[in-house]
Amino acid sequence: MSIGFDTNYMKIKSVSPLKHKYLQIIDTIANKPERLYFRGELPNERVVSVAIVGSRKPTPYGREVTYQLSYDLAHFGVVIISGLALGIDGIAHRGALDAGGRTLAVMANSVETVYPATHQGLADEIIARHGALLSEYGPGVRARDFQFLARNRIVSGLADAVIVTEATTRSGTMSTVASALEQGREVFVVPGNITSPLSAGCNALIKQGAQPITCAEDVLEVLAPNMLRPQQSLTLGNTPTETQIIELIKSGIRNGDELLTLSGLSASEFAQTLTIMEIAGIIRALGGNQWTLR
């Protein structure tokens, strides 16, 4: 059942970017939109904002690093911007939401319709958690191929920096990078496996001079050192068994079967410990019996 435009949920607002403190940064880009349409809430003041982009079909590595970077940056108070697409975009939005942060989705169609439809629930949560869906297109405009490329200049234009977590050498992600460079934005790249086609774009950007990063702190050291908090003590478990599993994950082991074998625990004790740690927010399931630290 569709929701009428007269409800609070579907209310579409229109704003001139130059008259909004958070959006004024877009004045620096080429072919800037005269108006932006949005559903939800925008920050009232300019705050540090980072766009996270990449492949629509990421590897488990890409999924993990995207989520972790988005989660950590949002936890520091950074606004996460992406395009609501499948893959890296959706994971970036999810990481920000899970961290209790704010995220903005820039769309290639008008904001009353969520595309792809499978991200309807994600879009609902973005709005409910004080974020927004934005577009340069007024009501009634459907997504068309060329609009996705045009959208990318706004994704980078609203951000202080762009992070590429996983991408091939020839992808839409590279158009976002090109826009970012034209706009004078910082470009950060996550290094990847040199044998993976989905890291080829990232590694090529690093060879061309983009700044490699491995954690959120690398980004904040450049954009906003004042946001960095004193280093916290290393994550420790509540029991020796939990600490043992944490140390194994820190060493790079992700697979549950390997963790079970190396821990020396019984299957029942191992499963119970994992459940307790997941509930406590110490670890997080990646799917496919893969685990990582929060």
* Model confidence pLDDT, tens digit, residues 40-74: 999 999 999 999 999 999 999 999 999 999 999 99
Helical ranges in 99-144 per DSSP H: 120-128
Domain span including residue 258: 240-293
pLDDT > 70 in the chain, percent: 94
Whether residues 255 and 218 share a domain: the answer is no
Overall average pLDDT of the 124-143 stretch: 95
| 139 contacts 15 by C-beta, under 8 angstroms | no
Note the pLDDT of residue 5: 38
Note the pLDDT of residue 243: 86
Asked, for residue 161, whether it belongs to a domain, the answer is yes
Whether residues 210 and 283 share a domain: the answer is no
CA distance linking residue 172 with residue 211, whole number of Å:
20
CA distance linking residue 188 with residue 211, whole number of Å:
5
7 pLDDT band, cuts 50/70/90, is very low
Give the DSSP H/E element, type plus range, for residue 188: strand 186-189
CA angle at residue 81 from 79 to 84, to 5 degrees? Answer: 135
Helical ranges in 77-171 per DSSP H: 88-98, 120-128, 145-157
171: left (phi over 0), alpha (psi -120 to 50) or beta: beta
Q: What is the CATH number of the domain that holds 176?
A: 3.40.50.450
Q: Which amino acid is at 30?
A: A
Does 233 have pLDDT greater than 80?
A: no
Whether residues 62 and 207 share a domain: the answer is yes
The neighbouring-strand residues paired with 13 are 38
User: How many domains in the chain?
Assistant: 2
